[in-house]
Amino acid sequence: MGGLQIEVDPAEVGFDPARLARIDRHFARYVDEKKLAGWQFTVARRGKLAHVSAYGQRDLEAGLPVEPDTLWRIYSMTKPITSVAAMMLYEEGGFELTDPLYRYIPSFRDVRVFAGGSDVSYATVPATEPIRIWHLLSHTAGLTYGFMRNHPVDAIYRARGFEWGSPRGADLAAICDIFASMPLLFNPGSEWGYSVATDVLGRLVEVVSGQRLDEFFASRVLQPLGMTDTAFWAGPQDAQRLAVLYNRSPEDGSLVKLDAMGNAALREPKYLSGGGGLVSTAADYNRFTQMLLDRPDSPAGELDGVRLLSPRTVRYMASNHLPGGADLQTFGRPLYAETTYAGIGFGLGFAVVVNPVAAKSLGSAGEFHWGGAASTAFWVDPAEQLTVTFFTQLMPSSAYPIRSQLRQLVYQALVD
């Protein structure tokens, strides 16, 4: 499949081929029942692709199939890439994880915390401590998302132009200053809350590196890893490869094109969103997961002779950084995120499985993962030397239990 060729007999790396075929059949039904337009996924073990599959259409209306080089909006699967970029600068001494954010972005010096009221009339109090860089990486900064719709601060974000978009004409630096001007949901470090923190982290990358985020990604991460199809937009020459974005009709659940949001990926953005701005291919993102994996031929942080991070740094990022080893169920707000909460901790850029039994998952302790708003997903399981990626384009990602079903189907096929 063009950069996605099977590299090893599944049986040689512990998979039962007949059981792997269950995955294809299961998700083919999603397309046949018109729940998804199409999908693509990869399963690799010990650094080798053991199963690659695709089914359905990238554009239902035009009758265009999913192809090996189909481009997908990966939305929040951008976050791990931004987190890797930041930790590369950390390894170079660019900052310390405990540094106050205002040292690099001065508008965050005097942040305040929501203390009651509504979105139009509210009280705030000074934060008990500054936002620190590790708060951004671990989503404990007190920032939020406008699309949450659970708190007056979410509505404040929406009123400033942040729901599934951003104020027209504002760049990353200006956007971060707006974030800094709005109240925090909670004091930094006191809770976990999914948020725009990784967008702010992208601005930190710019400040510390002296490069625009797209330039840093291209020169330091994407080109070195051979991720030549990953970028902040799909240019005119690639527009036909970009899958259509869909959501479900509230009337009958049928698939409806979401062009108002989806077409943003066809224009060069002013705002470079490190939290959700990239488009990519299955081949490219598989390479990113291989870099993160401890493989037989190379410790984590390296791929094909190119090392981005030390193995120790990758392991540190994939450790649970929530205080006291807590999971998201006890330390997080039970709101929207790209993971389940029970038995799941959070590291520096990834959710981390701390207790598979509590998570009701066949996965392994230490597995780390994330997903995107259009139902994309990936995970890396160091214990099993396993990586999985899944791509489709359905908003929201909570529409169907795709991720949990994908896990149970992948792990039941592992028989060694």
Model pLDDT for residues 265-279, shown as the tens digit of each residue = 999 999 999 999 999
pLDDT over 50 (residue 249): yes
Which 3 state secondary structure label does DSSP give 300?
coil
pLDDT at 1: 42
Residue-wise pLDDT for 2-60, tens only, equals 578 999 999 999 999 999 999 999 999 999 999 999 999 999 999 999 999 999 999 99
Whole-angstrom distance, CA of residue 311 vs CA of residue 395: 35
Strand order in the sheet with 48-59: 64-65, 48-59, 38-45, 386-391, 377-381, 368-371, 351-353, 344-346
Per-residue pLDDT, averaged over 353-358, amounts to 97
**Considering Cα of 358, then 364, then 370, then 375, what sign does the dihedral take?**
negative
CATH 3.40.710.10 fits 10-78+226-412, yes or no: yes
pLDDT over 90 (residue 337): no
Per-residue pLDDT, averaged over 150-157, amounts to 96
Whole-angstrom distance, CA of residue 96 vs CA of residue 109: 17
Per-residue pLDDT, averaged over 161-188, amounts to 95
Q: Phi/psi zone of residue 296: left (φ > 0), alpha (ψ -120 to 50 degrees), beta?
A: alpha
> What is the CA angle 388-234-277, rounded to 5?
60
pTM for this predicted structure? 0.97
Are the C-beta atoms of residues 5 and 404 closer than 8 Å to each other?
Answer: no
Q: Right CATH number for 84-209 from 3.40.1160.10, 3.40.50.1100, 3.40.710.10, 1.10.3450.40?
A: 3.40.710.10
Share of the chain above pLDDT 70, in %: 99
- 193: which 2 tokens? 């809350």
> What is the CA angle 244-248-252, rounded to 5?
135
- Cα of 225 vs its chain's centroid, Å: 18
Residue-wise pLDDT for 179-217, tens only, equals 999 999 999 999 999 999 999 999 999 999 999 999 999
pLDDT band at 335 (very low <50, low <70, confident <90, very high): confident
pLDDT band at 333 (very low <50, low <70, confident <90, very high): confident
H helical segments located in 3-132: 17-32, 78-91
- 283: which 2 tokens? 């081949």
What residues does CATH 3.40.710.10 cover in the chain?
10-78+226-412, 84-209
Whole-angstrom distance, CA of residue 145 vs CA of residue 129: 21
